[in-house]
Amino acid sequence: AFCSITHANLVDYKKKLIFNNIFSTIERNFGRTIAPLECDVIKSWVDNNISEELIVYATQIAVCNNACSVKYIDRILEDWQRKKITTLEQARKANKKFMNKKESKTDEREKWENG
């Protein structure tokens, strides 16, 4: 009877661990406690099998952009899902592209403003 852990229990346990890791990572990075509604959003990421490393990377992007909100992370993850991004490598490339685009827009604006 000792080894009665079912596959479902194991999956739940794994998801709980991932959730706890993400939860504490976000709290640590945001420097604040997570609201109950935000918990639900984090739980939905785990339930949708979004990898922990992608969520952690999206958290880092949010912090770099001074956007300490779970909603912001959620938008990043949704964008990646739309683009079928599932690995950290793909996410890094997509973010690099995005940053380059953002920088070139700033350059354009500066050229225009400074005539």
pLDDT digits (tens, 9 = 90+) for 13-59: 899 999 999 999 999 999 999 999 999 999 999 999 999 999 999 99
Q: In the chain, what percentage of residues exceed pLDDT 70?
A: 88
> Is a pLDDT exceeding 50 seen at residue 1?
no
What pLDDT was estimated at residue 69? 95
User: DSSP H helical segments within the chain, as ranges?
Assistant: 7-30, 36-47, 52-64, 70-82, 88-114
What pLDDT was estimated at residue 114? 64
What does pTM read for this prediction? 0.81
Residue 105: both structure tokens together: 């827009």
